Structure 1
């Protein structure tokens, strides 16, 4: 049932297929959250509830608490307007993308460090507790089971004033998050970090660079952006195996580097000694030819008036979508070829 508000019904589709897709979507979400919660609880050994002062929090803690406060405020407002579809989408995005994919990854090193573990555990327990309260109306059975498992490990929880928790999320209070936790500037800084991590990961994928190979990152940006990047630089190595070498207006593109551009920064990753430029250029040129042939095949279909007139509209649209997707891929690969040729 949790998945049902995420899809607008299509009158032209069979009901059985719509229901099946909805449940598959919901199942995938529940599996993702279940595994993330299990991982969190497996790392709570030695957990001891205690008040956490703001100056004890790491940047990633402040970020996830800010995002949690922002999302909680939005959800409360939308629930009052009965916008249930919007509520479930926001919950899904925060839980899947920000908590599971980002925060859990960022906090892993601290969970292995005896000195840093206590605060990391307290924040983790608090975020998980809040998520279970928020999700309970939409995923009652899964959250009930998780609640009891968490209660066995952490019956007392809370960041500022730890208290014994209720017996069930069904009777638990709706969470309240302090307004002072919200930090729009910090959220912007972490969004930039995420964009850069994704960009570096894309460079690894494009040039077939193994995840374990260390990379270096140079960023041309304004001084205030450079300072932000330095403050979160430790996460670059952990999340993307890349070291922030330099950042600022004085940075220029190193020879033989891959590049990416964001709204307020340009990033450069030197590839000399990491890839065989000639072999990579040859590989990418072959990819250009392959994509051109595929695009030509789609163009011939679309140029066939009989096909366009007789084929179902969704089939024709699918061919157009495929053609457009291939064209975007081709543009990206051609840019890589130009970059390799210039290097």
Structure 2
């Protein structure tokens, strides 16, 4: 195996991610928390994370039995970073910061259960940090090394909830991407109108849009009128409207994009001047010429994106 500074840095960041997730969980626990268990009254996001965790148990165990260690580690990495930390922990903050004590207890129990048992799966690869964190969490037994291996359970499979969450998450990502394209700061709130035949599903996720997509209010229905001037975002499950004029000074944004285009056009003209000069192409080192061609390609691609953004504003 080749040594790689980048891989070492990535592994350090992963360890930090796990440590910070554990700190967040511990910060929200009391002194008399129960050992890991499945609570009653599971919310949509609870069933979703438990179902994905359950799949993870099966996948990691299968990979280890086949001696596919790299595959097992990658599955753990993806689940911990992309699913548990980036999504479930963020969603759990909604209930942890609310007034419903029962909902708080459920969220805390699921956090502890998933974290504790995922550490068992990770322990063969990262023994020291997993032992340290496991000892600080509510647990049964003296050491993670002797605790029972996590096992797949049909009772933790929630395919319907997985599908519902996928619909909601796709929509949340689409809203965030469009806001980013239009340079709207996350701190600026906007109403979100969701047209969808899956009304019951999206109504369960209204708080998710407020937490993760900067929505001030969320309306769900089959049809909304008066959306001609709203930004439209389409996913497989919904059409989403956002009245972005509440947030964006369209004239100022047009001016900014045009100014950026002017600067970029100067860069394109400069590179074209070099590449259209026979002496430069003939005498300059091939690496230098290739670098200029690559730069021109990147500038051209960026110009297309600027044109697309400008056209979206003009057509509003």
Residue in 2 that maps onto 1:169: 144
1:311 aligns with 2:284: no
Deviation at 1:310, TM superposition (A): 2.8
Deviation at 1:136, TM superposition (A): 0.5
Out of 252, 258, 273, the position equivalent to 1:285 is 258
| TM-score calculated relative to the size of structure 2 | 0.85
Out of 53, 68, 81, the position equivalent to 1:68 is 53
Q: 5+ unaligned residues in a row in structure 2: which ranges?
A: none
Residue in 1 that maps onto 2:304: 331
1:144 aligns with 2:144: no
Q: 5+ unaligned residues in a row in structure 1: which ranges?
A: 1-8, 10-14, 156-164
For 2:22, what is the secondary structure of its paired residue?
helix
Q: Superposed, which structure 2 residues align to 1:29-108 within 5 Å?
A: 29-49=14-34, 52=38, 54=40, 56-108=41-93
1:22 aligns with 2:16: no
Residue in 2 that maps onto 1:121: 108
**Number of aligned pairs?**
309
Out of 207, 219, 232, the position equivalent to 1:245 is 219
Residue in 2 that maps onto 1:160: none
| TM-score calculated relative to the size of structure 1 | 0.79
Residues 47, 122 of structure 1: 8 Å contact kept: no
Residue in 1 that maps onto 2:244: 271
Residue in 2 that maps onto 1:188: 163
Change (3 A) 1:80 1:293: farther
RMSD: 2.9
Q: Distance in 2 between matches of 1:302 and 1:328?
A: 17
Residues 193, 241 of structure 2: 8 Å contact kept: yes
Superimposed CA distance per residue, residues 287-343 of structure 1 (whole angstroms, 9 cap, x where no aligned partner): 33444445566667777755997329xx958964x6655555433332221121122
Superimposed CA distance per residue, residues 10-37 of structure 1 (whole angstroms, 9 cap, x where no aligned partner): xxxxx5xx42121111001001111111
Moved more, 229-238 or 258-267: 258-267
Change (3 A) 1:318 1:296: closer
Superimposed CA distance per residue, residues 261-308 of structure 1 (whole angstroms, 9 cap, x where no aligned partner): 323433221112322111111112223344444556666777775599
Residues 260, 267 of structure 1: 8 Å contact kept: yes
